[in-house]
Structure 1
Amino acid sequence: SIWWVILSFTWFLAAGLKWGNEAIASYAQLFHLAAWVIPSVQTIAVLISGAVDGDPISGICYVGNMDMDNLRTFVLAPLIAYLVIGFSFLLAGFVSLFRIRNVIKKQGGAGAGSKADKLEKLMIRIGIFSVLYTVPATIVIACYLYENAFHDDWLHSLTCNCPN
């Protein structure tokens, strides 16, 4: 998910702020550092807080299997934040590209139609990729929200009501 934020951010730099490939490439090490450090810090925070728990049926260890506070804090919150931040950069980049496309079409001249067509093809490709990322990411978040909402009910429905 952090790579989605970095990708949409670099695309925003290129499309929205008109950075060149060389300028973006000069920050590649910083982007890689962020992509490794942020998840590492999150992982360390999970381990220090003891938020990893096991599913009693499958035996799979994960954050928030049994404690929904951990699921909300360490899984849902970062996923939602990354999706929203990445989508914001993506939206800002698309707004900039639509403005650029309109300027190209208004200017006219030799090759303006070809330039606008190339820009539209780029926008379509980026749009398709974005949909192919955001739809599954949104579904994953929706599944976690569903689990968060009904987890306690599921556990209570499986408990034995033994008469005393």
Structure 2
Amino acid sequence: SIWWVVLSFTWFLAAGLKWGNEAIASYAQYFHLAAWLVPTVQTVAVLLSGAVDGDPISGICYVGNMNMENLRKFVLAPLLIYLVVGTTFLVAGFVSLFRIRNVIRKQGGAGAGSKADKLEKLMIRIGIFSVLYTVPASIVIGCHLYENAFHEGWLRSAACSCPESRMVNIKARPIYSIL
């Protein structure tokens, strides 16, 4: 997801701020540093906080399988931030390209139509790629939000109720030495 932000940011620099290829390429090492450093910091934070837990049914370890606070903090928040920031850069770039296209069409002259057509083809390609990223990313975020909203209810419905139990206030925990 961080690569989506980097891609949309570089596209914004090219389309919105009219940076050239050389100017953007001169910052490539910084883009790569950010794209690798941010997930590294996130991974270290997850591991240091002990946020990785296992699903008791499937046995899959993931952040926020059982702890919804970890899911919100380490999965949902970064995904939402990356999607919003990347989409913001994308929309800003599209606004700039629409302005450029309108200027080209108003100027007219020889070759103005073909320049506008090439620009429109570029906009269509970028738009298709953007949809191919944002729709699945939004679906993944929606699935995590759905799980976050109903997880506690799912656990309560699967738990056995013991109405005759006198130890209501004591939380049952597994005895790890037996496991």
After superposition, the C-alpha distances for 1:63-115 in whole angstroms (9 at most, x for unaligned) are: 00000000000000000000000000000000000000000000000100000
SS across alignment from 1:53 = strand
Moved over 4 A (4+): none
What's the counterpart of residue 21 of structure 1? 21
Q: How does 1:91-102 map to 2 (within 5 A)?
A: 91-102=91-102
Aligned residue pairs total 164
> What is the Cα deviation at residue 129 of structure 1?
0.2
Q: Does 1:82 align with 2:82?
A: yes
Q: Distance in 1 between matches of 2:138 and 2:26?
A: 32
Q: Distance in 1 between matches of 2:36 and 2:47?
A: 17
What's the counterpart of residue 171 of structure 2? none
> What is the Cα deviation at residue 32 of structure 1?
0.5
SS across alignment from 2:109 = coil
Q: Does 1:140 align with 2:137?
A: no
Q: Does 1:57 align with 2:40?
A: no
Q: Distance in 1 between matches of 2:124 and 2:118?
A: 10
Q: Distance in 2 between matches of 1:142 and 1:26?
A: 37
> What is the Cα deviation at residue 161 of structure 1?
1.1
Q: Distance in 2 between matches of 1:163 and 1:98?
A: 66
What's the counterpart of residue 70 of structure 1? 70
Cα RMSD for the two superposed structures: 0.5
Gaps of 5+ in 1: none
Gaps of 5+ in 2: 165-179
SS across alignment from 2:91 = helix
Letter in 2 for 1:79: L
What's the counterpart of residue 154 of structure 1? 154
Question: Kindly, what percent of the aligned residue pairs are identical?
Answer: 84
Instruction: Specify the structure having the higher radius of gyration (Cα).
Output: 2
What's the counterpart of residue 168 of structure 2? none
TM-score (norm 2): 0.91
Structure with the higher fraction of residues in helix conformation: 1
Q: Does 1:119 align with 2:119?
A: yes
TM-score (norm 1): 0.99
